[in-house]
Amino acid sequence: MHPDIVDQAGAFLELLSTTSIPATKAAEILNGRPQYEVIKTAFQDGGLCAKYEIEKDCAKNREQLNRNSRAVARLLKCDIYINECRVVAVGNSASGLRLFRSVVECCFMKNEDPVAVARRFLSVPIDEENSSFVLVNVMGWSCTKYYPNDLKGSINIFIGRYVILALSK
């Protein structure tokens, strides 16, 4: 038996047993078409509330994310499934899924509106010459300003712990 098949079957069973993802979507993931991101949100091992020591009840933040999930899904071009302990995003873009993780973390850690966070992360101006760049540490919200010369003329958006946003002057 091929080890990749065993890993895929384990991921398939985990998706079906611990999330609210439909079986047909889990089968597509098993076949390797879309990518997915599972984010634990509650106080279980590795969950956002446990990881960042959020004292308040996570239900309020989860409900806010649930109310706005359709709008966030449209903005990030992915499908979103939410249950009591996990949030799952399924899409074709790895960068979009990493951006989704950042949106969920901001929603839980800073109690921000997920649609506003997604729009803020996706806003990139068309005029590259009259732009400045801001490096945002998503986890700590520290900001550092850079200009195009500092980036050697390249405009990149890095998704993950750090995000570079292009802002019009």
Whether 162 has a pLDDT exceeding 60, the answer reads no
Q: What pLDDT, in 10s, does the model give residues 37-64?
A: 999 988 888 888 888 888 776 778 888 9
Structure tokens at 30: 């098993």
pLDDT at res. 1: 56
Report the largest interatomic distance among the alpha carbons of the chain, rounded to a whole angstrom: 58
In this prediction, residue 147 carries a pLDDT of 44
Question: What confidence score (pLDDT) does residue 60 get?
Answer: 84
Residue 22 has pLDDT above 80, yes or no: yes
Q: What pLDDT score was predicted for residue 6?
A: 83
DSSP, residue by residue, 23-62: HHHHHHHHTT-SEEEEEE-SSSTT-HHHHTT--S-THHHH
| 74-99 mean pLDDT | 90
Q: How far, in Å, CA of 163 to CA of 137, rounded?
A: 7
Q: How far is CA 46 from CA 42, 53, 74, 87, 135, in A?
A: 9, 11, 27, 13, 27
pLDDT at 9 exceeding the cut of 60: yes
Q: What does the pLDDT read at residue 5?
A: 78
Q: What are the domain boundaries of the chain?
A: 3-121, 124-168
**Per-residue pLDDT, 69:** 92
Q: 165 versus 81: which is more confidently predicted? A: 81
Average pLDDT value for the chain: 75
128 or 4: which leads in pLDDT = 4
- CA distances to 26, 49, 169 from 126, rounded to whole Å, are 37, 37, 12
For residue 150, the Cα-to-chain-centroid distance in whole angstroms is: 28
- Return the CATH number of 3-121, one of 3.40.605.10, 1.20.1740.10, 3.30.43.10, 3.30.1370.10: 3.30.1370.10
What are the tens digits of pLDDT across the range 105-161?
988 888 889 999 888 888 744 344 444 444 444 444 444 444 444 443 334 444 444
